[in-house]
Amino acid sequence: MSGAVPALRMPPAGRSAGGWRAFVTRPLGTAVIRTATLVILLAAWEWMSGTIIPKFWISSPSAIVAVLAGWIADYSLFGHVAATLTEMVLGYVVGAAFAIACGLCLGLLPRVERITAPVVTALYALPKIALTPLFVIAFGIGLESKIVLVASTVFFLILYNTLDGVRDIDRDLVEALEIMGATRGEVVRKALVPATLPWIFTGLRVAVRYAFTAAILGELMASNEGIGYLIEASAGDYNAAGVYAAVFVLVVFSVLFTELLTRTEASSLRWRV
Amino acid sequence: MTFSTTRSSAGIRADERFILLGRVGLVLAILLVWELGGRLGDPTWVSAPSLIVLRLLRWAGDDLFAHVATTVAEMAMGLTIGVPAGVLAGIFLGRAPVLSALLRPIIVGFYSVPLVTLAPLLILWFGLDMEPKVVLVSVVVFFLIFFNTFSGVQAVDKDLIASLVLMGASPREEFQKLILPASSAWILSGLKIALPYALIAATVGEMIAARRGLGFLVTRSASQIDMTGLYAALVVLMLIGVAVGTAANALEGRILRWRVSGR
Amino acid sequence: MSTATQIALEGASKEFVGRGETVLALQPTSIEIARERFVALVGPSGCGKSTVLNMIAGLQQPTSGRVVYDGNPVTGPNRQVGYMTQKDTLLPWRSVADNIGLALELKIRSTSRSDRDNRVAQMIELVGLKGFERHYPGELSGGMRKRVSLARSLIYEPETLLMDEPFAALDAQLRLVMHDELLRLTRLRRMTVVFVTHDLGEAITLADLVVVFTGRPGRIKTLREIPLAHPRDAFRLRFSEDFARLHEELWNELKDEVAKGTDR
């Protein structure tokens, strides 16, 4: 009989062991360690820049902050952020609307769905960002081309989710309604749409990230505004501080979106069994 | 047509034929409309399937395969680096709760950021050749695989672990016989997602700055306002994408093998 | 404590620390379980019966007091026991045969391949799953999975078998079959068994000693010897007068505790 392996099955809420392990896992302890690590890393970065590693590669926290401050001071940052967000939102709305409409239609017409499937799959397989030059040629370098890019990216995602939702419908439910004498329209309204909604919502939530990515990528390729433009323009000028500053803005918004989505996840799914 | 139908096998066969005809018909119709549009309208902008095919043939005799090979190589190398690294990191952190709790914000931070958008950063560091694309693909793949592996390891039922320990399993046996097979479904799942992303990452890298590759072909044609070239490049990219997608689906089939009847 | 004692709880209690509050699940409990005895623990939900099993298995440590197995205090996972839980812990990617033989694959036992295959085949025969060796748990019914779990727990012939409401999810007929099997196998192998159940009839059918627990926080209320002769006929036992008397007597003990539990 052993004593070497510690007990694995945890009681409902474990009594924490004493010592540093307890400190580290408690909220305060974790926060302290994380902050301390961050400060140390930033200090090290500042020191290394220019001394060990050339500024060209890694810039320095102070330079980055300076750039950011400059952007905020001349209001340019807000303009760029607004541009990216506009592209995101408009593209998202357009793409989602089309996707849900097509998804529901195709879901209701299985034969049509199957006939168009290969074409849809082929289009889906193409990395949408490759279409950016096409859109730029067609719509110019402004926001429009990115909006179309975002829309096309979001479209496929939500389309597939909607289709999955329609396919997922419980046959028993439908049959029960049919036996009751429901017309086709009533079956759609009372069974199909409510059943599909969770899937559509999931798709809508996942698509937010993709919309953001698409907007940024589009701006990286060809644009004159936006967070992605800031990254690309700084890179083009070999302005490392600018690149990092823009990336920082990117990270801030990414985390913001992720947090938003995580927090709304619980409440939106609450009614789902 | 009602939702619930039972059809005879003869009916099903007829249906299948109809679908097949429909599909072929649709594709032909699209090509036809495009061809007519090209001939009647302005071929410089609209181009036409015939022109695209000719261009592809010309490229095939030239350096098309070199470009394809570059993109595929970037993907392959990135996967070779990213997948094992992701699996190892996922398993290691999955089994080290204290460490993973500490690293959590960094991990979440990285996860939130669309890594492909950091391509310019990599190009700044590594230049125009293959290296930055490989690095980009590796990093993107790494995080995807890492997260899936990590979740898989964490998701292993604690009761299963307990039962194995009681039976007398050593930590190594516990890992081999339980943790690894249990998380393999997750790992394969991650791999399935990672494949298309590898292509996207490689393409993005090439479109931003490259001298070779399919993404480069797209941007080169675009900068010359060579629409036929642009469409041709997109077609090749689409074909590669379909190949990648098929491979990913094959993986899914493997995952489902014992899950289908599973609880 | 005599050498005939397999398991002993000496004032073992268990507290759980929840969000800021401490819950006493098991009051300090003492009991001695002799070798080769079949002991049934009955009581209302949440009275700590499962906790007792976990402590004997070494998966949980008592907050106070101690648990002694075979003369040694239990401080970690107890490899001398087989533990069959309510929830089956079969590995879904392994076939029935591979699941059953799992314990024999482990280095701690060094069983040869042929020996293992033989014993697995024996076990499969024993629990009546012949023909299903290559099936996967996902393809089996609940009752069949239980039988695989049972086979898996028995194959390495542990001295003691811990069972936590193993048959709760089975239908009545199947349960009788399992009772019969269990009695036969455990007597054959001369195993000590600690069996947790809600079902008083099941407890009386199977056990030599029934322990009645109070509601939470649990402690032992009654110990009752079951003098019914072995071998017992699980199918017919419930119709005997002795059985009825015992059932009545123990039910009186138990029902107060159950009522208290449901009032909460």
The count of domains in chain C is: 2
Q: Does domain B51-259 have CATH number 1.10.10.350?
A: no
C136: in domain: yes
Q: What confidence score (pLDDT) does residue A268 get? A: 52
Domain that holds residue C201: 1-80+160-240+255-264
C23: in domain: yes
Measured between beta carbons, the chain B residues lying within 8 angstroms of C78 are 166
Task: Count the alpha carbons within 13 Å of A174 in the hemisphere toward its beta carbon.
Answer: 16
Measured between beta carbons, the chain B residues lying within 8 angstroms of C139 are 261
Task: Count the alpha carbons within 13 Å of C90 in the hemisphere toward its beta carbon.
Answer: 30
Please answer yes or no on whether B102 and A111 come within 8 Å at the CB atom.
no
Chains A–B, number of C-beta pairs less than 8 Å apart: 160
- From A176-190, A256-270, B6-20, B33-47, the region with the lowest mean pLDDT: A256-270
Measured between beta carbons, the chain A residues lying within 8 angstroms of B199 are 127
pLDDT of residue B3 exceeding 70 = no
Please answer yes or no on whether C91 and B181 come within 8 Å at the CB atom.
yes
Does the beta carbon of A97 lie under 8 angstroms from any beta carbon of chain B?
no
Please answer yes or no on whether C136 and B262 come within 8 Å at the CB atom.
yes
What residues are paired with C211 via a beta bridge?
Answer: C41, C223
Residues 6+ apart with CB under 8 A from A129: A149, A214, A217, A218, A221, B200, B203, B204, B207
Q: What confidence score (pLDDT) does residue A126 get? A: 93
Closest-CA residue in chain A for C59?
Answer: A7
C146: in domain: yes
- Which of these three, C157, C185, C206, is where a domain ends? C157
Find out whether A144 and A87 touch, Cβ atoms under 8 Å: no
CA angle C146, C147, C150 (to 5 degrees): 90
What one-letter code names the amino acid at C97?
A
Q: Kindly state whether residues C147 and C170 are assigned to the same domain.
A: no
The count of domains in chain A is: 1
Find out whether A41 and C93 touch, Cβ atoms under 8 Å: no
Measured between beta carbons, the chain A residues lying within 8 angstroms of B111 are 258
Does the beta carbon of B122 lie under 8 angstroms from any beta carbon of chain A?
no
pLDDT per residue as tens digits for the range B24-70 = 999 999 999 988 888 887 777 888 888 899 999 999 888 899 999 99
Measured between beta carbons, the chain B residues lying within 8 angstroms of C82 are 166
What average pLDDT does the structure give for chain B?
Answer: 84
Q: Kindly state whether residues C98 and C223 are assigned to the same domain.
A: no
**Helices A143-167 and A110-125: angle between axes, nearest 10 degrees:** 140
The CA radius of gyration of chain C, in Å to the nearest whole number, is 19
pTM of the model: 0.75
Q: Which of A5, A7, A12 sits opposite C61 (nearest CB)?
A: A7
pLDDT per residue as tens digits for the range B155-200 = 888 888 888 999 888 888 888 888 888 888 888 888 888 999 999 9
- Which of these three, C108, C127, C157, is where a domain ends? C157
Both tokens assigned to A234: 């700084």
Measured between beta carbons, the chain B residues lying within 8 angstroms of C83 are 163, 166
Q: What is the mean pLDDT of residues A19-41?
A: 72
Measured between beta carbons, the chain A residues lying within 8 angstroms of B22 are 111, 114-115
pLDDT per residue as tens digits for the range B78-112 = 999 999 999 998 888 888 877 777 777 777 777 77
C182: in domain: yes
Domain of A193, CATH number, reads 1.10.3720.10
- The complex's ipTM works out to 0.82
What residues are paired with C8 via a beta bridge?
Answer: C32, C68
pLDDT of residue C179 exceeding 70 = yes
Cα–Cα distances (Å) from B67 to A75, A268, B10, B242, in that order, read 43, 46, 48, 17
Both tokens assigned to A65: 């902050």
What residues are paired with C81 via a beta bridge?
Answer: C160
Q: What confidence score (pLDDT) does residue A64 get? A: 86
A5: in domain: no
Find out whether C170 and C180 touch, Cβ atoms under 8 Å: no
CA angle B59, A124, B40 (to 5 degrees): 55
Q: What confidence score (pLDDT) does residue A22 get? A: 59
Q: Kindly state whether residues C101 and C66 are assigned to the same domain.
A: no
CA distance C18 to chain A (A): 5
A213: in domain: yes
Domain of C9, CATH number, reads 3.40.50.300
A195: in domain: yes
Please answer yes or no on whether C92 and B159 come within 8 Å at the CB atom.
no
Distance CA A220, CA A230 (A): 8
| Residue C262: CB atoms within 10 Å | 9
Distance CA A15, CA C143 (A): 37
- From A28-37, A153-162, B136-145, C74-83, the region with the lowest mean pLDDT: A28-37
Number of residues in chain C: 264
Backbone angles phi, psi at B17, to 5 degrees: -65, -40
Does the beta carbon of A132 lie under 8 angstroms from any beta carbon of chain B?
yes
Please answer yes or no on whether B109 and A251 come within 8 Å at the CB atom.
yes
Please answer yes or no on whether B163 and C83 come within 8 Å at the CB atom.
yes
Q: Which of B3, B114, B165 sits opposite A213 (nearest CB)?
A: B114
Please answer yes or no on whether B114 and A209 come within 8 Å at the CB atom.
yes
What is the distance in angstroms between the CA of the first residue and the CA of the last residue of chain C?
38
Burial grade of C207 (CB within 10 A; 0-12, 13-18, 19 or more): buried
Distance CA A61, CA A74 (A): 20
Q: Kindly state whether residues C59 and C152 are assigned to the same domain.
A: no
Please answer yes or no on whether A1 and C72 come within 8 Å at the CB atom.
yes
Residues 6+ apart with CB under 8 A from A187: A174, A177, A178, B3
Please answer yes or no on whether C58 and A6 come within 8 Å at the CB atom.
no
Residues 6+ apart with CB under 8 A from A95: A150, A151, A152, A153, A154, A155, A158, A207, A211
C245: in domain: no
- Which of these three, C99, C128, C157, is where a domain ends? C157
Please answer yes or no on whether A119 and B26 come within 8 Å at the CB atom.
yes
